[in-house]
Amino acid sequence: MTLRVLVAVDGSLPSGRALGHVIDLVRAGAGLEIHILNVQIPVESGHVRMFVTPEEIDGWYRDEGIAELEPSRIALDAAGIGYTQHIAVGHLVETICRYAAEQAFDILVMGTRGRRGLGGALMGSVARGVLAATTIPLTLVK
């Protein structure tokens, strides 16, 4: 049986460790279909939108998402593991949970902290929010 796994990544060391955990599972023989997701926070300022076209904003989301997915792509490519990459735009917790549910993933994996977390926190606000909101089994990697 193959499980569909969504790994939420932001290019940070904790998200890299979460992906490393998934890579280790595949190497150990787990049948996993791996998807990596990066969520970009939306530009909501009307002032910015007065000077930048929607196409430029979409290009910025794409470029930033690709950059934040790069460490994950490199790790998966080096391990010889296939994957599908996704970039979404929205508020982090809601977007991760909604995307995982809509795409019917079996497992959601993420680091306990990311780039947007406080350095001293045991578990970041995004991880805590996803833990509280998701209905999908969640693995948090410290």
pLDDT, tens digit (0-9, with 9 covering 90-100), for 23-65: 999 999 999 999 999 999 998 766 776 788 889 999 999 999 9
What pLDDT is recorded for position 71?
A: 96
Taken in order of first residue, the domains within the chain and their CATH numbers are 3-141 (3.40.50.620)
Strand partners, 86: 37
pTM: 0.90
SS3 state of residue 131: helix
pLDDT tens string 106-126: 999 999 976 554 443 445 789
Q: Given the structure tokens 């929607």, which residue do they identify?
A: 54
